[in-house]
């Protein structure tokens, strides 16, 4: 007996996606990139061939957006470029491979058993419920386990890491990994370390905004300028009250630059100044010293011109000798005199 099945009319046909797409890619992929991928899935089901130009026209997207979207999915290993086009990889197979590669130390089920304590298992459960609505993909369990081992974060820091990325609308592995690396480089291990770090960052942000306001920049500082401010505050330990003294010294500069400001503050740091009082005393002392020099020059008529260099000193003395009596003021100066000292 031969059994046959009627072909499903196109109008009743469906294109399905695995749940992995929603848990692993939907949250961080650009909307246009998702649009591109969905249409590629639809075309692949029918084995259709389409050019990038035609894809741009069909989806009403710029050619560059199509190129960027395809490159994005290539980087995610979702599609693979071949000589004749692209192959759409199996997302479930990708997830399975990610879960059971050698770097993975445990499966989701084993993780709860091998966790150091129930507190860590509770933290992972909180991450699952708070940020993944209780349907976190299995590979996330292994990644979290790996990050615990690599960065030595305590449980509260790990939860804070996910909350930070979630609040920045960037709950995907690359971003979480980047933030985790930054926290680790800042010596963050405990939640107390994290609180101190956030306090410093908040203070630094306040200083940046205040500097921008004082300089009437009407914009946020560039990354280059923020680097300077970070050095002054975090490395040198200067609060804004010290930075403001340097700012006031630049008001007379026609072409202000952060390089010039940095030279001033670096000089103060090398002099081991710690407080505004020390710096103001130093500036007052320097000002008084300069005024005294100018006053002395005015009284004596002496100006500290740069001394000329001579290579023939014998000739210098022959042509520039003056009677000691002239120097002592007991003999009138004769401009044509060539008398030597001692004659």
The tens place of each residue's pLDDT in the chain, 343 residues long, gives 334 445 556 676 788 888 888 877 887 788 999 999 898 888 888 787 778 888 888 899 999 999 999 999 888 888 888 887 888 888 877 777 666 554 444 555 555 555 456 778 888 989 999 998 888 888 888 889 889 989 999 999 999 999 999 998 888 888 999 999 999 999 999 999 999 999 999 999 999 999 988 888 888 888 899 999 999 999 999 999 999 999 988 776 667 789 989 999 999 999 999 999 999 999 998 888 887 777 777 767 655 544 445 444 344 334 444 444 444 455 454 544 444 444 4
pTM: 0.53
Residue 4: inside a domain: no
174 and 201 inside one domain: no
22 and 63 inside one domain: yes
Residue 83, helix vs strand vs coil? coil
pLDDT at position 341: 41
Range of the domain at 214: 194-274
Among candidate residues 314, 290, 320, the one with its CA nearest the CA of residue 304: 290
First to last CA, the chain: 143
pLDDT at position 198: 94
CATH number at residue 128: 1.10.10
Type and span of the H or E element at 206: helix 191-214
pLDDT at position 116: 55
pLDDT at position 98: 67
Question: Distance between CA atoms of 161 and 184, rounded to whole angstroms?
Answer: 11
For the four alpha carbons of 286, 289, 293 and 298, in that order, the dihedral sign comes to: positive
Residue 31: inside a domain: yes
Do residues 180 and 151 lie in contact, with contact meaning Cβ atoms separated by under 8 Å? yes
Residue 5: inside a domain: no
Chain-centroid distance of CA 291 in Å reads: 45
Q: Which residues contact 91 (CB under 8 A, 6 or more apart)?
A: 17, 18, 20, 21, 24, 25, 78
pLDDT at position 99: 61
45 and 61 inside one domain: yes
81 and 104 inside one domain: no
109 and 185 inside one domain: yes
Residue 1: inside a domain: no
Q: Which two tokens stand for residue 249?
A: 């010294």
CATH number at residue 83: 1.10.10.10
174 and 202 inside one domain: no
Question: Distance between CA atoms of 186 and 23, rounded to whole angstroms?
Answer: 31
Q: Which two tokens stand for residue 198?
A: 């956030």
104 and 183 inside one domain: yes
Residue 2: inside a domain: no
Domain count across the chain: 5
Residue 3: inside a domain: no
116 and 128 inside one domain: yes
Question: Distance between CA atoms of 137 and 140, rounded to whole angstroms?
Answer: 6
- CA-based radius of gyration for the chain: 37
Residue 207: inside a domain: yes
339 and 317 inside one domain: yes
pLDDT at position 322: 44
Name beta bridge partners: 79.
Answer: 88
């Amino acid at each position: 007996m031969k059994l046959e099945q009627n072909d499903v009319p196109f109008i009743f046909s469906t294109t399905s996606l695995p749940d992995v797409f929603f848990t692993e890619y939907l949250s961080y992929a650009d909307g246009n990139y998702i649009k591109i991928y969905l249409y590629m899935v639809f075309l692949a089901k029918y084995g259709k061939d389409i050019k990038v130009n035609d894809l741009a026209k069909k989806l009403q997207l710029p050619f560059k957006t199509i190129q960027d979207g395809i490159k994005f999915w290539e980087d995610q290993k979702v599609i693979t470029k071949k000589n004749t086009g692209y192959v759409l990889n199996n997302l479930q197979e990708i997830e399975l491979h990610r879960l059971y590669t050698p770097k993975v130390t445990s499966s989701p089920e084993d993780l709860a058993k091998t966790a150091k304590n129930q507190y860590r298992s509770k933290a992972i459960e909180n991450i699952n419920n708070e940020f993944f609505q209780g349907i976190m993909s299995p590979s996330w369990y292994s990644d979290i386990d790996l990050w615990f081992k690599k960065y030595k974060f305590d449980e509260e820091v790990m939860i804070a890491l996910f909350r930070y990325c979630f609040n920045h609308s960037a709950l995907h592995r690359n971003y979480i990994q980047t933030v985790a690396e930054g926290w680790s480089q800042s010596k963050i291990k405990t939640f107390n370390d994290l609180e101190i770090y956030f306090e410093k960052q908040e203070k630094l942000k306040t200083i940046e905004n205040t500097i921008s306001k004082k300089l009437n920049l009407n914009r946020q500082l560039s990354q280059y300028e923020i680097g300077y401010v970070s050095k002054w505050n975090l490395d040198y330990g200067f609060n804004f009250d010290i930075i403001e003294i340097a700012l006031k010294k630049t008001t007379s500069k026609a072409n202000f630059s952060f390089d010039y400001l940095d030279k001033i503050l670096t000089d103060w740091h090398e002099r081991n100044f710690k407080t505004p009082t020390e710096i103001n005393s130093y500036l007052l002392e320097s000002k008084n010293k300069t005024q005294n020099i100018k006053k002395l020059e005015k009284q004596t008529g002496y100006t500290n011109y740069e001394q000329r260099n001579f290579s023939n000193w014998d000739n210098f003395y022959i042509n520039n000798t003056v009677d000691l009596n002239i120097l002592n003021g007991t003999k009138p100066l004769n401009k044509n005199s060539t008398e030597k000292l001692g004659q």
